[in-house]
Amino acid sequence: MEKKIKFKVILGLIFFANILIAQNYVDAIRLTEPGIGSNARALGMGNAYIALSNDFSGTFFNPAGLGLMKYGQIIGGLNYNSFNNKTTLYNNTTSSTNSNTDLNQVGLVLPFPVEQGSLVFSFGYNNNKNYNRAIEFDAYNPYNHSMIQDLTSYNDDLAYELAVSYAGTSGDETIIQGRLNQSGSILDKGGINSWTFGTAVEVAPNIFIGGTLDILSGSYKKDKEYYEDDIYNFYNSSMLTDPTLPQTADFQRFYLNDILDWTFNGFGFKLGFLAQVRDMLNFGLVVKFPSSYSIKENYYIDGYADYAATRFVLPAPYDVDIEYDIKTPFEFMGGVAFNIKDVAVISADVNYIDYTQMEFTDGLTPTDRSQNNKDIKEYTREVLNLSVGAEVTIPETELSIRGGFMYRPSPYFDDPSKYDKKYITAGIGYVAGGVVGLDVAFARGWWEDYGDNYGSNLSRTFQKITVNNLTFTLTYMF
């Protein structure tokens, strides 16, 4: 039930006879849309970190910031994520949750002694993005449509094999005319990880440049269960869903389980610049070059249909493998940070992404690649992500308090602002003896979304989403 796959049926236009799987621009967005980072100090400041980045997280935000470090650093972190969704279908609302806890950062930073300026190297691991998500829905559909009818309209053999459709004079037909209870769930999990190699050098007094090479890997799994039930016995024992099969009397339930399972790998590169002005003002610029991903996809489908006297099952579940490549667009980032007498820092970032430059580069058929890339141009847009944050250090203590806000516009062309992602963040940090630091951050996000079970705006779910992230980072400085 992916959002905005316009004029395409559920199952991604998978025809039971041909096993045709339609990859689309939603897959490219899944790899391109940024996560919310992996460092507690940065997250507490709303990820407004481009002009700072003076720790291992510079590998994620701005590698030039590594050049500010005068000491070695070992860092590690954990993140807890909770996804909460209130989903409405036909005016009935169902709540669902999904949560996970991950090791989200491990890193080493090593400054090297030089006669002038600085030279710093880093190596480690970042969890760049989390795919944790959940949807549940359950409502009676009083209208004259259903997934069974939608599949039948495409002469899909899945409906035929389960006997909810039959061969008519001019194609498949079905007696089902809506009036079924529709329910189901979708659980998503996985994420994008990177092994990162970073370096920075001070090329002139208070002028730093740096680069990060990311070796990317990850997984994504979407597990959907979908039911249509005749809860009011509309299709009773006097009706056969296949006129040639007496056992198809008294239809009761249609069930479908489809699972999309990705593993992928790739690489990316960032080039950063940072300048300090009198220890009061920092400017940062970053270019994130396109990342290339190679995806191995497995698609699994199974289902059944229940009648009063029997159950029809598929002769064999489908289990299909396919491979293809996707390239993400350039990203251009800029930030500024004001240091107020070493007591407070105020920072702001912008991040420009042109989603229309995403591209399917290999795999699939030439026709499918061409159509996907045309859809990318038609259905996505340019966005400007915004972040602001502040940090205040309490005088004569090693305690810092942080707060921030992030605004992430939807990448889809015609989305109103209610589909944009908003996050408010807060955090606290403490350094013991100038050696060991503990940072904690909390981020709460909210936005709306929708999805179609089949067709366009027929069985549509409207979703109100809230996300909570709690991140811990432990740092040892030497």
Spell out, as residue ranges, where the chain has pLDDT lower than 50: 1-21
- Domain membership flag for residue 4: no
Using an 8 Å Cβ cutoff, are 2 and 451 in contact? yes
- Domain membership flag for residue 3: no
Q: What angle do CA 43, 44, 49 make, to 5 degrees?
A: 55
- Domain membership flag for residue 288: yes
pLDDT for the residue numbered 261: 97
- Domain membership flag for residue 62: yes
- Domain membership flag for residue 1: no
Residue 212 and residue 121: Cα distance in Å, rounded? 10
Reference 474, options 60, 79, 76, 45; nearest CA is 76
Q: Of all helices (H) and strands (E), which one includes residue 158?
A: helix 157-161
Q: What's the CATH code of the domain at 37?
A: 2.40.160.60
> Which tokens go with 219?
């997984």
Distances (CA, A) of 362 to 40, 248, 269, 367: 37, 45, 20, 12
Phi, psi of 453 (to 5 degrees): -70, -30
pLDDT for the residue numbered 129: 96
pLDDT for the residue numbered 444: 98
pLDDT for the residue numbered 4: 38
DSSP 164: S
- Domain membership flag for residue 132: yes
Reference 137, options 188, 85, 98; nearest CA is 85
| Helix and strand element counts for the chain (H, E) | 5, 21
- Domain membership flag for residue 311: yes
As a dihedral over the C-alpha atoms of residue 262, residue 291, residue 103, residue 258, rounded to 10 degrees, the angle is -20
pTM confidence score: 0.92
Tell me the residue range of the domain where 245 lies.
Answer: 10-477
pLDDT in tens, 29-51: 999 999 998 799 999 999 999 99
**Total structural domains within the chain:** 1
Radius of gyration of the chain (CA): 26
- Domain membership flag for residue 396: yes
| First vs last C-alpha separation in the chain | 50
pLDDT for the residue numbered 341: 85
pLDDT for the residue numbered 392: 97
